[in-house]
Structure 1
Amino acid sequence: MTGPHPPRVLVVGAGIVGLALAWRLLRGGASVTVVDAEPPGEGGASFGNAGAISASSVAPLAMPGLLRQVPRMLLDRAAPLHVPPAYWWRAAPWLARFVAAARPAAVSRATAALDQLLHLATEQHHALAQEIGAPELLRAHGQLYIYRDAAQLAKDTPAWEIRRRHGARLEKLDRTGITALEPAIGEAYQLGMFLPDHTHCASPLRYARRLAEAFGQAGGTILRDRITALATSDGRISGAQGEAALHQAEVVVLAAGAWSARLAAPLGYRIPLETQRGYHVDLPDAGVTLTRPVIPADRKVFITPMEGALRVAGTVEFGGLGRPRDAARAELLYGDLAAVFPDAKVTRASDFWMGHRPCLPDSVPVIGPAQRVPGLWFAFGHGHLGLTGSAPTAELLAPAILGRPANQDLAPYAAERFAGA
């Protein structure tokens, strides 16, 4: 793409992944337009995620230890993982692939791919926040995982060992160590694992908005339109059809999160992308002060200090893109907060948030060229690591789109790794 004029690039999706990539492409000399039905950062999962930037999260979700817990969780409506009965048949093929992804060889491949993508995530995010004039959004205070007892911690040992082997700095804490960091954590939690090098974002929405503002100020274009199809001409990509207009481009990047697979399907791609719907509640006056994200292992939630509120975010609910959000899932989060912080003021908020995490069975996003359709590139499927993976994806993919040498292999992230894709 290094012709006499800058390539015209259309990025479909104004979530944090699409925005970070659009910014890096613009800085690299491309003419870039971003199109989305929602304002920047307000669709998908970018608005309401837990804010964690977790460079060492290289263990895939499909691990043998977790799989042993899945049947019980599926039958318990209050469990962190829930599949409504009406969605069982739709979820079954994805869950079967998820089980297959827990085989040792598959776990090793996924871990290597995630490590290659994420190992510089912290530094890349700090650089990005500095570039767009919002360094104060990133808080470098680490992340704290807490456990009730040694037996509970032992269940996560394989994942912690994977992190350690890939360079994560871990500190095992007793009760005294936990309270030295976060005094308000309840007595029930006796052990902790602290990741001192991790960072969190105090407002994922403001991060996305500031990125969009900087992109516009630097000459990029953001359009509001709902893309209904990708357009081709003579076998290569030519743009994207929206409800309002046809958006022409020489290069199209599909970064539409959980909506990406349905847009790729007419071009012959059968990508097993599922939305794992996540919820959050924000409590402006919780009565406890936190410095860093706290993650109770038995509750599977993140409790994060945000700008102006304490955010409790989590749960995994299968239900597709059209099913209404479930207030009962959000209600569980108040119980999670009370279990960890007995002195918190658990006042019900007037509303709650639900967003769509775009998840693939092996936890590895789809990043790279669409081999069947010249000019089309993929950047989606980051699952629970969309915020973490956004800046690294931009650094990995932008040089390739611009036709410049890259020192990383895109093959582990190819869409074609899925049978039938």
Structure 2
Amino acid sequence: MEDVIVIGAGVIGCSAALNLAKLGLQVQIIDSEPPGSGCSFGNAGIIAVDHVAPLASPQTVAGIPRMLLEQDGPLRVNKLGVPRMTPWMLRFVAQSTPSNYRRNTEALASLVTVAAQAWKRLIESAVIPRELYRDIGALYVFERPEKAEDQRRNLEVLDRFHVEYKHLTASQVRDDYLPALTRDISHARFMPGMSSVANPQRIVQSLFEAARAAGTTYTQARVTNLSVSPDGSVQVYAGETTLTARKLLIAAGARSDQLTARLGLRIPLTNERGYHVELREPSVEHLRVPVSFVERGFTCNPMENGIRLPGTVELGAGENPDWRRADILLAQFARLFPDLAAPRESSRWYGDRPTLPDYLPMIDALPSARNVFVASGHQHLGLTLGPLTGELVSQLMTDRATAVNFKPFSASRFH
């Protein structure tokens, strides 16, 4: 019998396994895919310490009618998926009232504002190769002047949580960071506290290898069922194999709700689909820092294997990817960098981010099985919060004190 089984070999599962193994526990990771697959592979590679406010907000709700009409916009609601998404959307609207938005912002900020410290602990302990981590900041470029009220509201949130930023003119953006950028922009904000990674998959593989070195074992198999015995042990059924542990962590991303349901907890997790395209040309030298284009809702990150263009959000997506979403990213890049060679892609990807209606993660023991824990629902912040979540959930599972209030991330908060 293992002390702990971790379902999920992404950034959260591997980080948790590493921390649990370092505490002296026997840990086994199980996943149907190799470590660092899924959204842990396909993300934007940004450690977004400025994302202190959740997407569930009055402003987002006000824009829902436009999302239904603007099918090529950065945030799309698939019309065919509306009936299936309606219960989730109603919860989302309820979480977007001004009072709930303020409460959820406080909760999310309690994690995001200390996330960079967890990353630095990994760098200092040489778990992650230093060359993969870039503490160089990031840009937000605005193509149109911001509305005064929108700017006031956004900066007020950043100021409240001491997120550092610097205003840049269009000429400063081109001179200092993006010489090939179109002149047809308004201004930008530089976020010096943001960092990024050159290869998200290699980051997770480094965490996995460190966990293996600390004694963690690994099984590649798809989990089909779970059960809890009268003595409190947990059985994990994977194909023809049954594994047993004293405690279980479900960190299975978009599949987490299917697994918690096996143990009596139904959580309103939806799959928020994202896409990315990686470019063979032009070369990464044209981008000195990662840059996000606010109105278009996508990012350009110069990575180890080329410029990655992640972006767009699709709610209510069907079974098959809509590759037009990836084509939009290529077209956007060509418009924004008209002086560069036409973009040539080397690969494209899609994946489903696990998202809860309040846009907060779930980090807790299951009320129906107190020796089973869940760490999921990190939406766009899986990479940002992965190392911190791994620390926190390992402390929670071993009854150690933590500096974070877990109540906002409760597994029973929707019931």
Of 272, 278, 292, the residue aligned with 1:295 is 292
Of 40, 54, 65, the residue aligned with 2:59 is 65
Deviation at 1:53, TM superposition (A): 0.3
Could you say which residue in structure 1 is the equivalent of 2:92? 98
Cα RMSD after superposing both structures: 1.9
Deviation at 1:256, TM superposition (A): 0.3
Q: Cα distance 1:237–1:286, how it changes in 2: closer, same or farther (>3 A)? A: farther
Of 259, 279, 300, the residue aligned with 1:283 is 279
Deviation at 1:7, TM superposition (A): 6.8
Q: Cα distance 1:307–1:372, how it changes in 2: closer, same or farther (>3 A)? A: same
Q: Give me the whole-angstrom Cα distance separating, in 1, the residues matched to 2:260 and 2:154.
A: 33
Does the CA-based 8 Å contact 1:365-1:413 persist in structure 2?
yes
Does the CA-based 8 Å contact 2:265-2:366 persist in structure 1?
no
Could you say which residue in structure 2 is the equivalent of 1:14? 9
Deviation at 1:70, TM superposition (A): 2.3
Does the CA-based 8 Å contact 2:278-2:346 persist in structure 1?
no
Deviation at 1:319, TM superposition (A): 3.9
Structure 2 letter corresponding to 1:111: T
Could you say which residue in structure 2 is the equivalent of 1:167? 162
1:114-133 mapped onto 2 (5 Å cutoff) = 114-131=108-125, 132-133=127-128
Q: Cα distance 1:338–1:212, how it changes in 2: closer, same or farther (>3 A)? A: same
1:306 aligns with 2:303: yes
Of 141, 144, 150, the residue aligned with 2:145 is 150
Of 314, 318, 335, the residue aligned with 1:317 is 314
Could you say which residue in structure 2 is the equivalent of 1:384? 380
- Runs of 4+ in structure 1 off by over 4 angstroms are none
Of 36, 50, 55, the residue aligned with 2:31 is 36
State the Cα deviation string for residues 197-249 of structure 1 (Å, max 9, x = none). 11001100110111111211221111101011222112845131112411111
Structure 1 letter corresponding to 2:47: I
Deviation at 1:112, TM superposition (A): 1.4
* Local SS of the residue matching 1:115: helix
Could you say which residue in structure 2 is the equivalent of 1:242? 238
Structure 1 letter corresponding to 2:170: R
Structure 1 letter corresponding to 2:195: T
Q: Give me the whole-angstrom Cα distance separating, in 2, the residues matched to 1:361 and 1:16.
A: 22
Structure 2 letter corresponding to 1:372: S
Does the CA-based 8 Å contact 2:229-2:235 persist in structure 1?
no
1:48 aligns with 2:42: yes
Structure 1 letter corresponding to 2:297: K
Of 215, 221, 224, the residue aligned with 2:217 is 221
Deviation at 1:133, TM superposition (A): 4.4
Does the CA-based 8 Å contact 1:237-1:373 persist in structure 2?
no
Could you say which residue in structure 2 is the equivalent of 1:107? 101
Could you say which residue in structure 2 is the equivalent of 1:3? none
Percent identity over paired residues: 36
Q: Give me the whole-angstrom Cα distance separating, in 1, the residues matched to 2:6 and 2:75.
A: 32
Does the CA-based 8 Å contact 1:237-1:376 persist in structure 2?
no
Does the CA-based 8 Å contact 2:280-2:346 persist in structure 1?
no
Deviation at 1:154, TM superposition (A): 5.2
1:181 aligns with 2:177: yes
Does the CA-based 8 Å contact 1:37-1:224 persist in structure 2?
yes
Does the CA-based 8 Å contact 1:239-1:250 persist in structure 2?
no
* Local SS of the residue matching 1:417: coil
Q: Give me the whole-angstrom Cα distance separating, in 2, the residues matched to 1:403 and 1:239.
A: 22
State the Cα deviation string for residues 147-181 of structure 1 (Å, max 9, x = none). 12223575354233212211101111111321222
Of 343, 351, 357, the residue aligned with 2:353 is 357
State the Cα deviation string for residues 308-348 of structure 1 (Å, max 9, x = none). 2000001111245x701121111111122123222233334
Q: Cα distance 1:204–1:233, how it changes in 2: closer, same or farther (>3 A)? A: same
State the Cα deviation string for residues 262-294 of structure 1 (Å, max 9, x = none). 111132222111111100000022146212210
Deviation at 1:61, TM superposition (A): 0.4
Q: Give me the whole-angstrom Cα distance separating, in 1, the residues matched to 2:159 and 2:397.
A: 33
* Local SS of the residue matching 2:19: helix
Q: Give me the whole-angstrom Cα distance separating, in 2, the residues matched to 1:252 and 1:28.
A: 16
Q: Give me the whole-angstrom Cα distance separating, in 2, the residues matched to 1:13 and 1:29.
A: 20
Could you say which residue in structure 1 is the equivalent of 2:226? 230
Deviates more, 1:52-61 or 1:264-273: 264-273
* TM-score, reference length from structure 2: 0.94
Q: Give me the whole-angstrom Cα distance separating, in 2, the residues matched to 1:232 and 1:152.
A: 54
Deviation at 1:349, TM superposition (A): 2.4
Deviates more, 1:155-164 or 1:271-280: 155-164
Pairs aligned (count) = 412
* Local SS of the residue matching 1:47: helix
1:413 aligns with 2:409: yes
Q: Give me the whole-angstrom Cα distance separating, in 2, the residues matched to 1:110 and 1:240.
A: 34
1:257 aligns with 2:253: yes
Structure 1 letter corresponding to 2:83: W
* Local SS of the residue matching 1:62: coil
Does the CA-based 8 Å contact 2:74-2:296 persist in structure 1?
yes
Could you say which residue in structure 1 is the equivalent of 2:136? 141
Could you say which residue in structure 2 is the equivalent of 1:204? 200
Does the CA-based 8 Å contact 2:6-2:17 persist in structure 1?
yes
1:84 aligns with 2:81: no
Does the CA-based 8 Å contact 2:17-2:27 persist in structure 1?
yes
Does the CA-based 8 Å contact 2:8-2:29 persist in structure 1?
yes
1:373 aligns with 2:396: no
Does the CA-based 8 Å contact 2:5-2:27 persist in structure 1?
yes
Flag structure 1 segments of 5+ consecutive residues without an equivalent: 1-5
Structure 2 letter corresponding to 1:17: I
Could you say which residue in structure 1 is the equivalent of 2:393? 397
Structure 2 letter corresponding to 1:16: V
